Structure 1
Amino acid sequence: MPALPTVAATGEIEVQASDLIGEWKLDDFIVHREDGEAFHWPGVQSGTLIYTASGYVSVAQNRQPLDQPSPEDAQRVSNFYTGNWRLGEEPGMVYHTALQSSAPAVVGQTMRREVALLPDGRLQLSGQGLKERVTLIWSRL
């Protein structure tokens, strides 16, 4: 029987590999600007995150078109990648190594993500995005 998750001091639950396996839907996409601002991308966001027991990950995010997008918003309509995943030896870390991606520069790269299960059962992933640090909140499907 796998070990039960433990509650960290922050109220987040320590993540085991079995906690990640399955399908998740995107609830929130937050960009952390250099000036400290937490910026929510405008428009209706959607996304799917899939972790398999065999070590594959698939991430798909997109948003409905905006009426008058800024140049930056026009470039950030979607993000997709597939790859391999593994939990880090250090608690609270998961690594995604991209095999395919809508951003060719990340193919072959390993992305470090802080991972936590929130008290309400949602999954929080945080790490360096293409430009800024990002946090994504996912609910299990």
Structure 2
Amino acid sequence: MSEESDPILKLQKDFGEAFYSEFKEFFGEEKEHGYELYSLSGDESGPKGSWVTFTIRNSFASRSLVFRYDPENHTFYAMLKIQVIPGEEDWDLDSLFRRKGYPVPEFKDSLKNAGEWIFHSIARHYLGAIFQYCPRILEPDFLPAS
């Protein structure tokens, strides 16, 4: 099925491309950092079946930045995921930025100015804040709780 005839396929492609290009703009090539970048889409039934996801993963530190968009409800989630024994910790990025005292504009304010390039604006909002205030967020020495 082509992108033109399937709006979900186009949405998935646009979401992934926006985050990938913004990552490259701020951080360069992912291989230089030892990171893995990938985009996933839900092609299944269920409450998260239509979500699109972009992940930046540092497998050596067991950490990931996960960005998810739910097209049915027009909601967006941005998280730092840290593998711990047992399980996983999820940190909401907006809450983490506030907790750390980073002077990052509120996500809703950035979203108001997004225009038609919404995914690029979302990616720029989060990756720009990470680049400026916490570029080592995926490294083991970054402690979200402190």
TM over 0.5: no
| Structure of greater relative contact order (alpha carbons < 8 Å, 6+ residues apart) | 1
The TM-score normalised by the length of structure 2 is: 0.35
